[in-house]
Chains A and B, each alone.
Chain A
Amino acid sequence: MKTIKSLKLAIAAIAGICITLSASAQDNTLLGAGSTFVYPLFSKIFAEYGKTHDVKVNYQSIGSGGGILQLTNKTVDFGGSDAPLNADQAKKIGVPVLHIPMASGAVVVTYNIPGVTTALNLTGKDIADIYLGKLTNWNSPQIAGTNKGVKLPDLPIVVVHRSEGSGTSYIFTDFLTKVNPDWASKVGKASAVNWPAGLGGKGSEGVAGLVKQTPGAIGYVELIYALQNKMLYAHIQNKSGKFITPSLASTTLASNVELPANAEVSLTNTDNPAGYPISSFTWALIYKEQKYNDRSAAKAKMVLELLWYNIHEGQKNCEPLNYAPLSKSAVKVAEKILKSATYDGKPIL
């Protein structure tokens, strides 16, 4: 009997602790979910933020689509996405959602051609034709035209793309859709498309592995991944006809253009003559009206202050982690968007 009594007491005590813990956890914890691309940056920024503020952020990198789904179900305070909401998703949510740019990222084209160690110059049409399966050999005159002085071998091109749905594929196909009408009509843009040619590699490491191993292979990975793994990548021709070396600076420049007020814009094929054309924002998504599901005004304020920190002080974490920081015009637009958020109809910030 004694043991049972003490057991009961212990259980009651543990339950009590759990309840108080979870109550206090709910007060200062924000939940986020979504993009895996932005995860390293977010975890760094949130850790820094936690040092000076009494806020814990729990961000789960489950993929952009998953993040949007979680936001739709109102189970998270904010979502992270590498692509703006599409028509279906916007319809399903039904209320206005704010897209706040957090950083930008670039996608680079990498290749493995024995004997070629310099960066190739590739146009949007080259890449589209290769990925459509129309250009099948590296010695094609179309590629040679923009690569004078590079000796391209007679070698079949092996196309490699991401096998799983990913933001990287979205940015890449979005660029091809803009620059090549043939691609736009036959394939289109999405995080997973019906690839007309080639092999699918699982994740960035799968694509990189296949490209490294297969002579004649071409693939695409995020700039961060290429920098960390010291991969060879091509210069891509932008809208003004210049071949741009992908870098953090040229990626930031891509967003330094006249941006629409809602920032729901694709940066690919940028107007900026010095901008790298295959780049994109990664967004944090929140509801415009923060009063839902009996959320407190304090919590709404907490989310907005966190995001405000992200677009200002948080930006200094971008470059060490190989993310391109927001351009000046992007920060301005993001500030306006954050200020437009409301709680019960009244502005929060």
Chain B
Amino acid sequence: MSMSPSDTSNKKKPKKDTVANATVDGTIAGKEQMTLMKNKRLDLSYVQMKWETVFRRILIVMSVIMLIVVAGILATLIVQSWPSIKSLGIGYLWGKVWDPVNNVYGAFPFLIGTLLTSFTALIISVPFSYAISIYLGEYNTKGWLSNLLKNTIELIAAVPSIIYGFWALFVLVPIVRSFEMKIGVAPYGVGVCSASLVLAVMIIPYAASLGTSLIRMVPSPLKEGAYALGATRFEVIRSVILPYTRSGLFAGILLSLGRALGETMAVTVLIGNTSAIANSFKEVFFGPGNTMASVIANEFAEADHPVYLSALIELGLVLFFVTVIINLIGKRIITRYTHH
């Protein structure tokens, strides 16, 4: 029934057309049919267009909600940490003492601890995630072994981090400790080294699974061309696949880094939680430390005066900015690589 008004207009329009094109006889019938079809499309597309708009609006609303959430988090962090910013000033960033009893707060040891553990973990994890991506993406793309490996690696990401923490405390830490005894540093076992090792394991899946999918997507004509020119498999990987997927692989690493920066529970169990800054390189790497996320997790529940609570929230704000800055730098690197 809803078709009727447009049907009448359909009939009217062709009449006008007939007058206009009276001289060109043979084509009129065909033209009339075409306009009829076109208008049917037009009529259908009214509903379709409506849906298009609705759909687009849903997408916009969903995305904007996320934007609002992030802006809200940022605003809350700033408002809540205002008492601390006001009373401690910018010196908060390089203050080395964190003393809740005397209301002295400095984030420097935690800032260093966060960056140190995350980047160490990243350096350890990159060879593994690249190797896994290349193997699963190029050498062994099908079959049970490939599936098993891929699923296992994805499973690594699904294990709760507290499990990693306590597993490492009872299994990895004694190994690290006996190694520390051999090289002659204080045998704490826990510390930056243990935390970074576990973090490395935890972040491998992120870069590896993204890398695998990207390498599988490299167009085969490119690879076949290289093979046809006599390149070996390694040469194809080095000069075709890696350059083609470079920015994507880097994005995967950035994803891993983001995960490492924010990781809390496993690190808290393993880092040793001390705010003292070590003097020598050996102590920095093997000795205990602390990260921003673990300080927040440790002390938030029992923070018993306003400035203390606010200083902890400011730590969250600093972590937020560190993540943003590192992401921006990463994006800059990606665009530069892509333009080449």
Q: Write the residues of chain A forming the contact surface with B, with a CB cutoff of 8 angstroms.
A: 62-66, 68, 86, 88-89, 92, 156, 158, 163-167, 187-195, 198-202, 205-206, 209-210, 213-214
Query: Is B189 in contact with chain A by the CB < 8 A criterion?
Result: yes
7 contacts between A and B (CB under 8 A): A64-B302, A156-B186, A165-B298, A165-B301, A187-B101, A189-B101, A214-B188
Residue on A nearest B191 in the bound complex, by CB: A199
Chain B residues within an 8 Å CB radius of A198: 274
* A161–B104 CA distance with the chains assembled, in angstroms: 20
Q: How far is the CA of A210 from the CA of B269 in the complex (A)?
A: 10
Nearest-neighbour CB distance to chain A for B182, whole angstroms, equals 15
Which A residues touch B166, using CB under 8 A?
A: 205, 209
Find out whether the CB atom of A192 lies under 8 angstroms from the CB atom of B100: yes
Interface flag for B190 (CB, 8 Å): yes
Cβ-defined contact, A86 with B304, below 8 A: yes
- Interface segment, one of B54-62, B151-159, B169-177: B169-177
Kindly count the residue-residue contacts between A and B in the assembled complex, taking CB atoms under 8 Å apart: 105
Whether the pair A63, B302 counts as a contact (CB closer than 8 A) is: yes
In the bound complex, CA of A122 to CA of B275 (Å): 27
Distance, CA A88 to CA B303, complexed state (A): 11
With A191-B304, A192-B299 as contacts: A163 and B294 at CB distance below 8 Å: yes
Given contact pairs A64-B302, A190-B101, A206-B269, a sample of 18 additional A-B residue pairs in the complex whose CB atoms are under 8 Å apart: A65-B304, A86-B304, A89-B304, A163-B268, A164-B301, A165-B100, A165-B302, A193-B100, A194-B275, A195-B274, A202-B273, A206-B169, A209-B166, A210-B189, A213-B170, A213-B177, A214-B177, A214-B188
The verdict on B113 contacting chain A, using a C-beta distance below 8 Å, is no
| B97 adjacent to chain A (CB < 8 Å) | yes
Smallest CB gap from A195: residue in B = B274
- Residue numbers in A under 8 Å from B97 (CB-CB): 194
Shortest distance from the beta carbon of A159 to any chain B beta carbon, whole Å: 10
Q: Which residue of A lies closest to B300 (CB)?
A: A165
Say if the beta carbon of B280 comes within 8 Å of chain A: no
Q: How far is the CA of A199 from the CA of B269 in the complex (A)?
A: 11
CA distance A3 to B166 in the complex (A): 52
Q: Does the CB pair A65–B303 fall under 8 Å?
A: yes
Cα-based distance from A339 to B304 in the complex (angstroms): 29
Closest to A36 in B: B301
The CA of A267 and the CA of B249, in the complex, are separated in Å by 60
Give A163 to B273 CA distance when docked, in angstroms: 6
Inter-chain CA distance A86–B101, complex, in Å, is 11
Residue of A nearest to B102 (CB): A188
Task: For the complex, give the distance between the alpha carbons of A156 and B165 in Å.
Answer: 26
Judge whether B142 is part of the interface by a CB distance below 8 angstroms.
Answer: no
Specify which chain A residues have a CB less than 8 angstroms from the CB of B299 in the assembled complex: 164-165, 192
Using CB atoms, name the residue of chain A closest to B162.
A202
Q: CB within 8 Å of A: which of B294-317?
A: 294, 297-299, 301-306
Chain A CB count within 10 A is highest, among B269, B290, B301, for B301
Distance in Å from the Cβ of B301 to the closest Cβ of chain A? 4
B272 at the interface (CB under 8 A from A): yes
Q: Whose C-beta in chain A lies nearest to the C-beta of B165?
A: A202
Cα separation A167 to B170 with both chains bound (whole Å)? 26
Per-position contact with A for B138-156: 1 when CB-CB < 8 Å, else 0? Answer: 0000000000000000000
A88→B189 contact, CB < 8 A:
no
In the complex, A178→B254 CA distance in Å? 50
Whole-angstrom distance between the alpha carbons of A193 and B273 in the complex? 12
CB closest residue in chain B, given A161: B273
Query: In the complex, are the beta carbons of B305 and A86 less than 8 A apart?
Result: yes
Contact B298 A163, beta carbon cutoff 8 Å: yes
Cross-interface CB contact of B100 among A62, A194, A209, A214, cutoff 8 Å: A194
Shortest Cβ distance from B176 into chain A, in angstroms? 11
Which of A164, A165, A190, A202 has the most C-beta atoms of chain B within 10 angstroms of its own C-beta? A202
A166 lies within 8 A of B302 (CB): yes
Provide the residues of chain B in CB contact with A166, threshold 8 Å. Answer: 302
Of A63, A190, A193, A210, the residue contacting B301 (CB under 8 A) is: A63
* A133-B189 Cα distance, complex, nearest whole Å: 19
CB distance from A25 to the nearest CB of B (A): 27
Residues of A within 8 A of B288 (CB): 199-200
| A202 and B301 in contact, given A192-B100, A214-B187 (Cβ under 8 angstroms) | no
Q: Mark B163-199, 1 if CB is under 8 A from A, else 0.
A: 0011001100110010000000011111000000000
Give A205 to B101 CA distance when docked, in angstroms.
Answer: 25
B7 interface contact, C-beta 8 A: no
Known: A198-B274, A199-B188. A192 touches B169 (CB 8 A): no
Residue of A nearest to B287 (CB): A199
Residues of B contacting A64 with CB < 8 Å?
302
A194, B98: Cβ atoms closer than 8 Å: yes
Given contacts A165-B303, A209-B169, contact A194 B177 (CB under 8 A): no
Given B98, B173, B189, B304, which contacts A68 in the complex, CB threshold below 8 Å? Answer: B304
Closest Cβ of chain B to A165, distance in Å, is 3
Greatest chain A CB density within 10 A among B268, B302, B306 is at B302
CB < 8 Å neighbour of B272 from A156, A199, A209: A199
Judge whether B188 and A202 touch: CB under 8 Å: no
Which single member of A92, A188, A202 contacts B268 (CB below 8 Å)?
Answer: A202
| A164 to B100 alpha-carbon distance, docked (Å) | 12
Partner of B188, one of A66, A158, A195: A158
Contacts of A88 in B (CB 8 A): 304-306
Q: Does B235 contact A (CB under 8 A)?
A: no
The verdict on B99 contacting chain A, using a C-beta distance below 8 Å, is yes
Top 8 nearest A-B pairs (CB, nearest first) are: A200-B273, A165-B302, A163-B273, A164-B298, A63-B301, A194-B99, A188-B101, A65-B302
**Complex alpha-carbon distance, A66 and B302, angstroms:** 6
Residues of A within 8 A of B275 (CB): 194-195
Residues in chain A near residue B177, CB distance under 8 A: 213-214
Contact of B99 among A86, A189, A193, A202 (CB under 8 A): A193
* A214 surroundings in chain B (CB, below 8 A): 177, 187-189
Give min CB distance, A280 to chain B, whole Å: 15
What residues on B are CB-neighbors of A200 within 8 Å? 272-274, 288, 290, 298
- When distances are taken between beta carbons in the complex, the residues of chain B under 8 Å from A213 are 170, 173-174, 177, 189
For the complex, give the distance between the alpha carbons of A164 and B295 in Å: 8
